[in-house]
Amino acid sequence: MNISKILIIFILCIIGFVMFIPFLWLVSSSLKPMEDIWVFPPKWIPNPPRWDNYYNALTYLPFGRYILNTLFVTFMVLVGVLLTSSIAGYAFARLRFPGKDFIFYVLLSTMMLPYIVTLIPIYIMFKNLGWLDTYKPLIIPAYFGGGAFNIFLFRQFFMGIPQELVDSARIDGASEPSIFFRIIIPLSMPVVVTIAIFTFLGTWNDFMGPLLYLQSPQKLTVAVGLSYFRGMYSTQWNYLMAASTVMIIPPIILFLLAQRYFVRGIVLTGLKG
């Protein structure tokens, strides 16, 4: 191992430690009794660790139900986003059609208006559709483009795929959809995985959406459930931290699973010939 590798590992560890602190504090607080949470300087290792905080936090409210609900919504949204934003991104990246740039800027501009002023008209729309207190407002828009952020990101990546691959496939008579699914996507696993991670996290943690559109207690999601620990005069921090710790496990699992696909997609051997 040379010097530069050692230096890099050293820096990685230092920064890694800093990055790890919030997680440490989260878990450490989750095992403390209420009185100890704000003691200064903080006691890192609670003694004795209160594992029952987890039990109490998760049974205080039907968190099992919330987790299932959230998994459902997140999965449905994931499918919709991956499907519709990837094809749109590809169209903007490699397909030629009139009005392409204009449509792209219009799409981008939908991200430029603060959500606060569109909350009410969107809510009224969903109310008139009869979609209040259902998962539809949360899921259906994902099948209609999945957001300009994702489309833009796909576009950037797809524009990096060598034209030769696409041209030769076209000459071989392949249709655009088959080019897309059989050639482009396998080469783009890093960006697909990245968007999957972002989308999963965004939906999993989404609070405003479920808050506004869901009413029935049995339909609620984890993010809303977490907010219930906030009291008027005192928040039940230890339960909140315990529930939060459980809540970050699915995104971590997804991230770890995704690492397998986070590999170099473009293999150039055989092209320069």
Partner 1 sequence: MWYRKLLLVTLCMLLVVSLLPVISPAQEQVTITYRTWEGGEMMKVNQSQVDAFMRKHPNIKVILSTVPENYDEKLQVETASGNAPDVFQLSAENIAAWGSRGVLLDLKPYFDASSDLKLSSFYEPLQRQYTVNGKTYGMSNAVEISLIFYNKKLFEKAGLPYPAADPAKAKNWLWDQYVDVAKKLTVVDPNNPSNILQWGTTTTRGWVFYFMPLVWSNGGQLFSKDYKEFLLNRPEAYEVLQKDADLAQKLRIASKSEDLQKLGMGNVDLLAQGKLAMLITGTWDVFSLSVDRKFHDWDVTYLPVFKPGKLYTTIPQSGYSIYSKTKHPKEAFEFLKFLLSEEGQLYRAKVGNVLPSIKSLLTPAAQKKWISPAIHSPNFGRVVFNYMRYGMLLTPTNYFPDNWLKISDVLDAELGPIWSGKKTAKEATESAAAKINAILQGK
Partner 2 sequence: MRKSGLLRQEMMWGYIFVLPAILGVIVWTAWPMIYSAWLAFHKWDLFTNPVPVGFGNFKEAFFEDPLFWHSLKVTAYYTIVGVPLQLIAGFLLALLLNTKIKGITIFRTVYYLPSIVPAVANSVLWMWLLNYEYGIINTFLGLFGVNKIDWLGDPKFVLPALWMMGVWGAGGSMIIYLAGLQGVPKEFYEAAEIDGAGSWSKFLYITIPMMSPVIFFNLIMGLIGSFQVFTVSYVMFQGGSGGPENAALFYVVKLWNHAFRYLEMGYASALAWILFIIILSLTLLVFKVLGPQVYYEGIK
Footprint on this chain of partner 1 (rule: CB under 8 A): 34-35, 38-41, 119-120, 123-124, 127, 132, 207-208, 211-212, 215, 227-236
**First-to-last C-alpha distance (Å) of the chain:** 37
Residue with tokens 């965004």: 202
Question: Considering the complex, what minimum distance in angstroms separates the CB of residue 134 from partner 2?
Answer: 16
Judge whether 251 and 74 are in contact, CB under 8 Å. Answer: no
Judged by CB, which is closer to partner 2: 180, or 213? Answer: 180
Judged by CB, which is closer to partner 2: 28, or 216? Answer: 28
Question: Considering the complex, what minimum distance in angstroms separates the CB of residue 235 from partner 1?
Answer: 6
Question: Considering the complex, what minimum distance in angstroms separates the CB of residue 64 from partner 2?
Answer: 19
**125: Cα separation from own chain's centroid:** 26
Sites for partner 2 among residues 2-61 (CB under 8 A): 5, 8-9, 11-12, 15-16, 19-23, 25-26, 40-42
Sites for partner 2 among residues 230-259 (CB under 8 A): 237, 240-241, 244, 247-248, 251-252, 255-256, 259
Rounded to 5 degrees, φ, ψ at 81 are: -65, -50
- 3-class state of residue 216 by DSSP: coil
Judge whether 135 and 75 are in contact, CB under 8 Å. Answer: no
Of positions 194, 199, 221, 238, contacts partner 2 by CB under 8 A: 194
Question: Considering the complex, what minimum distance in angstroms separates the CB of residue 50 from partner 1?
Answer: 16
Judged by CB, which is closer to partner 1: 228, or 262? Answer: 228
Name the DSSP class of 273: -
Judge whether 26 and 241 are in contact, CB under 8 Å. Answer: yes
Q: Is 128 in the site for partner 2 (CB under 8 A)?
A: no
**Selected range binding partner 2 among 44-52, 54-62, 66-74, 168-176, rule: CB under 8 A:** 168-176
Judged by CB, which is closer to partner 2: 7, or 216? Answer: 7
- Of the candidates 256, 262, 252, 273, the one whose C-alpha atom is nearest the C-alpha of residue 26 is 252
Q: Which amino acid is at 181?
A: F
Question: Considering the complex, what minimum distance in angstroms separates the CB of residue 45 from partner 1?
Answer: 18
Judged by CB, which is closer to partner 1: 36, or 176? Answer: 36
Q: How far is residue 273's CA from residue 163's CA, in Å, rounded to a whole number?
A: 15
Judged by CB, which is closer to partner 1: 34, or 201? Answer: 34
Of positions 54, 63, 66, 157, contacts partner 2 by CB under 8 A: 157
Judge whether 194 and 267 are in contact, CB under 8 Å. Answer: no
Q: Which residues contact 100 (CB under 8 A, 6 or more apart)?
A: 91, 92
